[in-house]
């Protein structure tokens, strides 16, 4: 069942209605954000009603705004005047037709088309002792009463109604064969190398799914491969005034398989990255709804590559590491590693469509 979300201003003069709060980025296009605002003009006293859609990066607590510091930076914003109406009657979407039947003659429909180069909704996981709203990228639809579209002073909360929405991406339907990587590494006192090859069985994995990593080892050295470590790392690229990348391991497994000198091994291993195993890692990127129990690790950001996105861009890699113990004269006193990396796409499947409609008033 699809809920219709409603938020009323403190003074009761305007109410915002949305048919959904998740809007899909299809890479080449983004779902239209369509809704209706109900306007009771009796107490407007000549003021106008506007609505905006904003994509912003939040990097601090709103509580600190009282000292004049802005901890929210708009990446993109679009504003529309709804009342008094400024143009002809727009073509209604099916959802707006349903909403207008509910709202009646006081309803004013609006639509926004987001550009394709905006980031998706992502939050940075707070630490155990952090308070306030999480840092990250969020999207907000806000109706407000004012004299002009972009007033110098923020309208009082009693004159506003707002709903947070999410811009999300789902895994493409087609899934290609996974990546493969190999390396040959030679050590001192050894004429021949260790050959390591690793591959994934497919390109895209879903959140919560076990990732199968196929490993082939040909140890032509005098050393011994003591164990195999496989990890999944999340790379968070924060692009605002500059571009900074943060890497965090979201899952690490060690396997006790050994490969003696001149030995080989061909085996598949499994690793499952889960947010539940990293709930105390501060700064980890998660999908943009921290309050809900079904929050995942943030999905891989898909882009067309035509424009540089701002905000938070997320990617993953699988790292396969052989821990090699020294041999020969020095015995186990020396050691080294042999490592390959594989790109990983981690996303959610597209859910089945929902058609039934019910209304839900939002609190707060």
Q: Would you call 173 helix, strand, or coil by DSSP?
A: coil
Dist. CA 101–CA 98, nearest whole Å: 5
The pLDDT score that the predictor gives to residue 307 is: 64
The pLDDT score that the predictor gives to residue 333 is: 42
The pLDDT score that the predictor gives to residue 2 is: 59
The pLDDT score that the predictor gives to residue 195 is: 96
**β partners of residue 339:** 321
The pLDDT score that the predictor gives to residue 5 is: 93
Q: Do the bridges between strand 22-24 and strand 14-18 make them parallel or antiparallel, or are there none, so unpaired?
A: unpaired
- Compute CA distances 264 → 161, 216, 270, whole Å: 65, 8, 19
The pLDDT score that the predictor gives to residue 1 is: 46
Contact 38, 103 (CB under 8 A): yes
Contact 340, 196 (CB under 8 A): yes
Region of 328 please: left (phi>0), alpha (psi -120 to 50) or beta.
Answer: left
pLDDT tens across the length of the chain (364 residues): 457 899 999 999 999 999 999 999 998 889 999 999 999 999 898 999 999 999 999 876 554 444 444 577 899 999 999 999 887 778 899 999 989 988 889 999 999 999 988 999 998 887 666 666 678 899 999 999 999 988 888 899 999 999 999 999 999 888 889 999 999 998 877 789 999 999 999 999 999 999 999 999 999 998 899 999 999 999 999 887 777 888 999 999 999 999 999 999 999 999 999 888 877 778 889 987 645 556 789 999 987 665 677 889 999 999 999 999 865 444 444 457 899 999 999 999 987 754 444 445 554 3
CA dihedral angle for residue 209, residue 213, residue 214, residue 218, rounded to 10 degrees: -160
Q: Would you call 278 helix, strand, or coil by DSSP?
A: helix
Dist. CA 184–CA 195, nearest whole Å: 4
Those residues with Cβ within 8 angstroms of residue 201's Cβ, 6 or more apart along the chain or in another chain: 177, 178, 212, 214
The pLDDT score that the predictor gives to residue 172 is: 87
Nearest Cα neighbor of 286 from 319, 240, 250, 241 is 250
Contact 19, 353 (CB under 8 A): no
Question: Which domains does the chain show, CATH number per domain?
Answer: 2-170+351-361 (2.60.40.840), 180-347 (2.60.40.640)
Q: Do the bridges between strand 160-168 and strand 311-325 make them parallel or antiparallel, or are there none, so unpaired?
A: unpaired
């Amino acid at each position: 069942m699809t809920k219709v979300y409603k938020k009323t201003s403190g003074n009761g003069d305007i109410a915002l209605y949305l048919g959904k709060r998740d809007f899909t980025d299809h890479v080449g296009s983004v779902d239209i954000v369509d809704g209706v605002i109900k306007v009771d003009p009796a107490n407007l006293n000549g003021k106008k009603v506007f609505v905006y859609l904003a994509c912003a990066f939040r990097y601090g607590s709103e509580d600190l705004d009282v000292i004049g510091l802005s901890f929210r930076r708009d990446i993109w914003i679009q504003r529309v005047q709804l009342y008094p109406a400024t143009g002809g009657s727009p073509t209604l979407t099916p959802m707006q037709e349903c909403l207008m039947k509910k709202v009646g003659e006081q309803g004013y429909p609006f639509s926004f088309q987001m550009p394709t180069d905006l980031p998706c909704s992502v939050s940075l996981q707070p630490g155990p002792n952090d308070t306030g709203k999480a840092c990250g990228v969020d999207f907000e639809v806000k109706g407000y009463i004012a004299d002009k579209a972009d007033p110098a002073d923020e309208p009082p909360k009693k004159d506003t109604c707002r709903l947070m929405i999410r811009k999300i991406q789902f895994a493409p339907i087609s899934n290609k064969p996974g990546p493969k990587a190999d390396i040959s590494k030679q050590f001192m006192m050894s004429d021949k190398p260790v050959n390591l090859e690793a591959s994934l069985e497919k390109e895209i994995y879903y959140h919560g799914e076990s990732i199968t990593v196929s490993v082939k080892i040909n140890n032509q050295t005098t050393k011994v491969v003591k164990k195999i470590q496989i990890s999944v790392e999340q790379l968070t690229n924060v692009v605002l005034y500059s571009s900074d990348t943060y890497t965090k391991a979201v899952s690490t497994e060690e396997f006790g398989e050994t490969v003696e000198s001149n030995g080989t091994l061909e085996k598949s291993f499994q690793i499952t990255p889960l947010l539940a195993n990293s709930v105390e890692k501060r700064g980890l990127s998660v999908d943009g709804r921290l309050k809900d129990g079904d929050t995942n690790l943030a999905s891989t950001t898909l882009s067309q590559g035509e424009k540089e996105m701002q905000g938070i861009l997320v990617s993953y890699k699988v790292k396969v590491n052989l821990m090699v113990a020294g041999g020969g004269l020095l015995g186990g006193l020396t050691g080294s590693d042999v490592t390959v990396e594989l790109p990983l796409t981690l996303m959610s499947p597209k859910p089945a469509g929902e058609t039934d409609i019910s209304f839900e008033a939002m609190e707060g």
